[in-house]
A and B are shown apart, each in its own frame.
Chain A
Amino acid sequence: MRKQKQEILTASEYNNKMHSTGRIFTWIALGLIMLVPVIYCLEAKVLPDGEAILKSLPFLLGYLAIGLVESISYAPLLGTAGQYMSFITGNISNLKLPCAINAQTLTKVKPGTEEQEIVTTIAIAVSTIVTTIIIIIGLVPLFFFREQIVGVLSPISPYVIPAIFGGLTLVLIAQYYKIALIPFAACIIICVVGNLLGFGTSLGQSTMVLVGMAVSGISTTILYKKKKI
């Protein structure tokens, strides 16, 4: 009985444990992913082209900045364990985040509570396992029937995100319409102007999500200070 009591952690202790575990898994994942080019170069007995890597430096800096902004802005939505898992496994805006939002909405947990953290952790972990298994299962048929599989399924792949967000919008709109209205109007204007000026392809979903979050952050702060929300 006494031993059982000792094992019950406070919310802060539990959170610290999730951080420690998340950090360990993040370093392991980083180490393993770094091994890919190393092992390839050893096996193929080649070196990467240093000049090409140097030429790609501006591109690399741009991508590193995007990764940094994403990790800062997604953090309040993904929770502690969810943040570590999502940034190790990727596919955040098209899979992990919608999956977490769906579970939170379904279970009606309150924002900012430990219940929400637990639901988000489980949803993202289950999603990660399912995706990893589906990918492994898909490898064998891909090896033998790549042309056919890609030929049949790739025409609908551009429409998966519209399908997810069509459904999610209806679920979330009642809750967030006051907050989302101004950033939505701003994003529409930016997208329309961008397309008219011919750089619409640069305003893809991942770019616009970050723009939307930035505009929303500013407009919501103003609304909050004016006590309109």
Chain B
Amino acid sequence: MVESYISIFILGGAIALAIILMSVFFIIKAVRRAKQIGMDKKIIKDTIRSGAVFSIVPSIPIVIGIGILMQSLGLAIPWIRLTVIGALQYELIAMNQAQSALNASGGYSQEVFIATATVIMTLSIISGPVFNAIFYKKYQNKLAALQEKNGKLMNTVTGALLGGLLAGMLSSILVGGIFSIGHPVTDGTGATTYGEVTIITLVSGMIIMGLCGVVLKVFKQKWIESYALPITILGALAIAYAFTATGVFA
């Protein structure tokens, strides 16, 4: 395995600490503000609980992502990359880009590869944060002016973005799933996606969420509202695991 320098681990620790401090700071500010404007404490408690419970399962693929990237970059660099800004699919493509550019240039050492890959990975993801640091306030002021001038239009724009997000995600999952039925796709991480399991997981998620709705509305079990999405994710993933572990579609 590629070794990591202690100094990079120390830098990673500093970054993780900064991220946690930032989050705690924003939570304190938001909770204080909620008190000032007289928000119900229950809303705050429900938000904290749902945010924490929801985030556990989707965080696991990030840990797996570190496991995948560490083969080429060691443990410390993927840890930092996936703690700040990065997402596995972007990081992997950026790393492969570095590798193919180096391959075209001729021979190279592992150290040169890691140095080049981290430069490309770093430069490729900075536009979002730089935009936020320089232009976001002005951009948001324009959005706020629109909200004040025509609140209905602004709410429609926000709805349009959410609807678009949903439409884009669902179409990609559905069509990607259907087209890979019988033709499993192995990505750069080495993970194989079976179209059948993708569709089954999507439909299972809908059915389990529907059942949670029945428990909430028909059986008046209010507690399930906070846990419906985590239960859905876990249930759908358990079904996906059952199909992948038994190798039905392999």
Contacts and interface: CB of A to CB of B under 8 A. Distances in A.
Contacts of A81: 26, 29-30
B225 to A, nearest CB: 6
Nearest to B194: A158
B47 to A, nearest CB: 5
Interface residues of A, number: 162
Interface in B185-242: 185, 187, 189-193, 197-198, 201-206, 208-210, 213, 225-226, 228-229, 232-233, 236-237, 240-241
Q: Most chain-A CB neighbours within 10 Å: which of B154, B228, B236?
A: B236
B114 A130 contact: no
Given A122-B47, A134-B59, A68 B204 contact: no
B8 A40 contact: yes
Nearest first, the 4 closest Cβ-Cβ pairs linking A and B are A166-B205, A212-B168, A216-B164, A187-B171
A119 B8 CA distance: 35
Contacts of A165: 166, 169-170, 173, 202, 205
Nearest to A138: B63
B174 A188 contact: yes
Given A46-B112, A159-B237, A176 B163 contact: yes
A204 B172 contact: yes
Contacts of A49: 101-102, 105, 108, 112, 115-116
B62 to A, nearest CB: 6
Contacts of B80: 33, 36
9 contacts: A19-B137, A53-B101, A64-B123, A76-B157, A83-B132, A88-B22, A119-B43, A183-B167, A200-B175
Contacts of A90: 82, 84-87, 125
Interface string A10-49: 0000111111011101111110111111011101111111
A32 B29 CA distance: 24
Contacts of B228: 167, 171
A49 B33 CA distance: 49
A162 B157 contact: no
A163 interface: yes
Given A33-B15, A114-B33, A125 B55 contact: no
B79 to A, nearest CB: 6
Contacts of A171: 209, 228-229
Nearest to B146: A76
A158 B25 contact: no
A118 to B, nearest CB: 5
B159 A187 contact: no
B248 interface: no
Nearest to B156: A224
Contacts of B226: 106
Contacts of B210: 170
A19 to B, nearest CB: 5
A52 to B, nearest CB: 4
Contacts of A74: 161
B241 A155 contact: yes
A166 B39 contact: no
A167 to B, nearest CB: 4
B171 A75 contact: no
A156 B219 CA distance: 32
Contacts of B229: 98, 102, 164, 167-168, 171
B54 A68 contact: no
A99 B51 contact: yes
Given A103-B51, A115-B37, A158-B193, 7 more contacts: A23-B137, A56-B98, A67-B124, A121-B26, A167-B228, A190-B171, A217-B157
A26 to B, nearest CB: 4
Nearest to A50: B116
Interface in B56-75: 56-64, 66-68, 70, 75
